Amino acid sequence: MHSDNFNKWAGAILSALLLLFALGVVIKETVPEGPPAKAGYEVAELKEAAGGVGETAAAAAVPEQPIAVAMKTADADTGAKLSKACQACHSFDKGGPAKVGPNLWGIVGRKVASMDGFGYSEAMKGKGGNWGYDELYKFLANPKGVVAGTKMGFAGYPKFDDRANVIAYLRTFADAPVALPAP
Protein backbone atom coordinates (compact mmCIF):
# COMPACT_ATOMS: atom_id res chain seq x y z
CA MET A 1 0.00 0.00 0.00
CA HIS A 2 2.64 2.45 1.17
CA SER A 3 4.95 2.02 -1.72
CA ASP A 4 1.96 2.22 -4.12
CA ASN A 5 1.11 5.66 -2.77
CA PHE A 6 4.72 6.70 -2.92
CA ASN A 7 4.93 5.75 -6.56
CA LYS A 8 1.76 7.69 -7.31
CA TRP A 9 3.09 10.85 -5.64
CA ALA A 10 6.55 10.52 -7.08
CA GLY A 11 5.02 10.12 -10.52
CA ALA A 12 2.80 13.16 -10.09
CA ILE A 13 5.65 15.34 -8.87
CA LEU A 14 7.90 14.17 -11.64
CA SER A 15 5.29 14.98 -14.29
CA ALA A 16 4.74 18.40 -12.74
CA LEU A 17 8.45 19.10 -12.82
CA LEU A 18 8.66 17.97 -16.43
CA LEU A 19 5.76 20.22 -17.35
CA LEU A 20 7.40 23.20 -15.63
CA PHE A 21 10.63 22.47 -17.41
CA ALA A 22 8.88 22.26 -20.77
CA LEU A 23 7.04 25.53 -20.10
CA GLY A 24 10.31 27.17 -19.18
CA VAL A 25 11.82 26.18 -22.51
CA VAL A 26 8.77 27.47 -24.41
CA ILE A 27 8.77 30.80 -22.55
CA LYS A 28 12.47 31.24 -23.06
CA GLU A 29 12.03 30.76 -26.78
CA THR A 30 9.02 33.04 -27.21
CA VAL A 31 10.21 35.96 -25.10
CA PRO A 32 12.90 37.79 -27.04
CA GLU A 33 16.12 38.39 -25.22
CA GLY A 34 18.43 41.33 -25.56
CA PRO A 35 17.86 45.04 -25.01
CA PRO A 36 14.27 46.39 -25.12
CA ALA A 37 13.19 48.73 -27.91
CA LYS A 38 14.85 52.15 -27.86
CA ALA A 39 11.70 53.99 -26.76
CA GLY A 40 11.75 52.16 -23.47
CA TYR A 41 15.26 53.30 -22.78
CA GLU A 42 14.43 56.92 -23.51
CA VAL A 43 11.53 56.97 -21.09
CA ALA A 44 13.71 55.40 -18.42
CA GLU A 45 16.45 57.95 -19.04
CA LEU A 46 13.99 60.84 -18.89
CA LYS A 47 12.58 59.61 -15.61
CA GLU A 48 16.08 59.46 -14.22
CA ALA A 49 16.88 62.91 -15.56
CA ALA A 50 13.79 64.22 -13.79
CA GLY A 51 15.19 62.82 -10.57
CA GLY A 52 12.39 60.28 -10.29
CA VAL A 53 9.90 62.98 -9.33
CA GLY A 54 7.23 61.22 -11.33
CA GLU A 55 5.27 61.30 -14.56
CA THR A 56 4.70 65.05 -14.88
CA ALA A 57 8.31 66.02 -14.53
CA ALA A 58 9.33 63.29 -16.96
CA ALA A 59 6.73 64.44 -19.50
CA ALA A 60 7.84 68.06 -19.18
CA ALA A 61 11.36 66.94 -20.01
CA VAL A 62 10.29 65.76 -23.49
CA PRO A 63 11.84 68.39 -25.74
CA GLU A 64 9.77 70.54 -28.09
CA GLN A 65 9.22 68.79 -31.43
CA PRO A 66 8.97 70.41 -34.87
CA ILE A 67 5.34 70.85 -35.91
CA ALA A 68 5.45 68.18 -38.63
CA VAL A 69 6.71 65.61 -36.11
CA ALA A 70 4.25 66.70 -33.45
CA MET A 71 1.28 66.46 -35.83
CA LYS A 72 2.16 62.85 -36.71
CA THR A 73 1.17 61.64 -33.25
CA ALA A 74 -1.46 64.32 -32.55
CA ASP A 75 -4.87 63.09 -31.48
CA ALA A 76 -7.99 65.10 -32.31
CA ASP A 77 -10.08 63.42 -29.59
CA THR A 78 -7.64 64.52 -26.90
CA GLY A 79 -7.58 67.92 -28.59
CA ALA A 80 -11.36 68.13 -28.34
CA LYS A 81 -11.12 67.85 -24.56
CA LEU A 82 -8.26 70.34 -24.29
CA SER A 83 -10.06 72.82 -26.53
CA LYS A 84 -12.84 73.23 -23.96
CA ALA A 85 -10.57 75.96 -22.60
CA CYS A 86 -10.62 77.74 -25.97
CA GLN A 87 -14.37 77.35 -26.31
CA ALA A 88 -14.94 79.56 -23.29
CA CYS A 89 -13.99 82.37 -25.69
CA HIS A 90 -14.26 80.92 -29.22
CA SER A 91 -16.91 79.19 -31.30
CA PHE A 92 -15.56 76.70 -33.86
CA ASP A 93 -18.59 75.95 -36.04
CA LYS A 94 -19.20 77.44 -39.47
CA GLY A 95 -20.80 80.87 -39.20
CA GLY A 96 -20.56 80.68 -35.39
CA PRO A 97 -20.72 83.92 -33.42
CA ALA A 98 -17.84 85.86 -31.93
CA LYS A 99 -17.64 85.36 -28.18
CA VAL A 100 -14.84 87.04 -26.23
CA GLY A 101 -12.67 85.99 -29.18
CA PRO A 102 -13.41 85.55 -32.91
CA ASN A 103 -15.02 82.47 -34.45
CA LEU A 104 -12.35 79.93 -35.44
CA TRP A 105 -14.01 78.09 -38.36
CA GLY A 106 -11.30 77.25 -40.92
CA ILE A 107 -8.61 78.81 -38.74
CA VAL A 108 -5.80 76.60 -40.13
CA GLY A 109 -4.56 78.57 -43.12
CA ARG A 110 -6.91 81.52 -42.45
CA LYS A 111 -5.70 85.10 -42.74
CA VAL A 112 -4.79 86.57 -39.34
CA ALA A 113 -7.42 88.93 -37.86
CA SER A 114 -9.93 88.25 -40.62
CA MET A 115 -13.28 87.60 -38.91
CA ASP A 116 -15.65 90.27 -40.23
CA GLY A 117 -16.84 92.66 -37.58
CA PHE A 118 -14.62 91.36 -34.77
CA GLY A 119 -12.76 94.05 -32.83
CA TYR A 120 -9.20 92.76 -32.98
CA SER A 121 -6.42 94.45 -31.04
CA GLU A 122 -4.00 96.63 -32.96
CA ALA A 123 -1.35 94.02 -32.15
CA MET A 124 -3.31 91.22 -33.86
CA LYS A 125 -4.26 93.43 -36.82
CA GLY A 126 -0.60 94.27 -37.25
CA LYS A 127 0.67 90.68 -37.14
CA GLY A 128 0.01 89.89 -40.80
CA GLY A 129 0.22 86.57 -42.63
CA ASN A 130 -1.89 83.43 -42.24
CA TRP A 131 -2.44 80.95 -39.40
CA GLY A 132 -0.48 78.03 -40.82
CA TYR A 133 0.19 74.98 -38.64
CA ASP A 134 3.50 76.34 -37.40
CA GLU A 135 2.12 79.82 -36.66
CA LEU A 136 -0.69 78.35 -34.57
CA TYR A 137 1.70 75.95 -32.85
CA LYS A 138 3.97 78.81 -31.76
CA PHE A 139 1.17 81.24 -30.91
CA LEU A 140 -0.63 78.74 -28.67
CA ALA A 141 2.57 78.08 -26.70
CA ASN A 142 2.68 81.68 -25.52
CA PRO A 143 0.06 84.00 -27.10
CA LYS A 144 1.31 87.18 -25.45
CA GLY A 145 4.92 86.36 -26.18
CA VAL A 146 4.25 85.81 -29.89
CA VAL A 147 1.76 88.65 -30.45
CA ALA A 148 2.82 91.25 -27.90
CA GLY A 149 -0.25 93.27 -26.93
CA THR A 150 -2.86 90.68 -27.98
CA LYS A 151 -6.05 90.78 -25.98
CA MET A 152 -6.35 86.99 -25.99
CA GLY A 153 -6.35 86.22 -22.29
CA PHE A 154 -4.99 82.72 -22.42
CA ALA A 155 -1.63 81.74 -20.93
CA GLY A 156 -0.91 79.09 -23.56
CA TYR A 157 -0.15 75.39 -23.59
CA PRO A 158 3.56 74.92 -22.84
CA LYS A 159 3.50 71.21 -23.75
CA PHE A 160 3.96 70.68 -27.46
CA ASP A 161 1.70 67.64 -27.60
CA ASP A 162 -1.19 69.56 -26.01
CA ARG A 163 -0.90 72.15 -28.77
CA ALA A 164 -0.59 69.55 -31.51
CA ASN A 165 -3.70 67.77 -30.18
CA VAL A 166 -5.70 71.02 -30.13
CA ILE A 167 -4.58 71.87 -33.67
CA ALA A 168 -5.49 68.34 -34.84
CA TYR A 169 -9.01 69.04 -33.57
CA LEU A 170 -9.16 72.63 -34.89
CA ARG A 171 -8.22 71.53 -38.41
CA THR A 172 -11.39 69.42 -38.62
CA PHE A 173 -13.45 72.65 -38.51
CA ALA A 174 -13.09 73.37 -42.21
CA ASP A 175 -14.80 72.35 -45.43
CA ALA A 176 -11.57 70.54 -46.33
CA PRO A 177 -8.91 70.23 -43.60
CA VAL A 178 -5.58 71.68 -44.72
CA ALA A 179 -2.99 68.98 -45.52
CA LEU A 180 -0.70 68.20 -42.59
CA PRO A 181 2.76 69.77 -42.75
CA ALA A 182 5.42 67.62 -44.42
CA PRO A 183 8.64 66.99 -42.51
Residues engaged in binding ligand HEC (CB under 6 A): 83, 85-86, 88-90, 100-102, 104, 107, 112-115, 120-121, 123-124, 131, 136, 140, 150-154, 166
CB of residue 148 to ligand HEC, shortest distance in Å = 10
CB-based burial label for 159 (10 Å; 0-12, 13-18, 19+): middle
Complex with ligand HEC: residue 164 or 166, whichever CB lies closer:
166
CB of residue 100 to ligand HEC, shortest distance in Å = 5
Is residue 63 a contact partner of residue 161, using CB atoms and an 8 Å limit? no
Q: Residues 6 or more apart from 129 whose CB is under 8 A from it?
A: 111, 112, 135
Cα dihedral 61, 148, 139, 77, rounded to 10, equals 90
Complex with ligand HEC: residue 11 or 158, whichever CB lies closer:
158
Complex with ligand HEC: residue 49 or 88, whichever CB lies closer:
88
Complex with ligand HEC: residue 24 or 153, whichever CB lies closer:
153
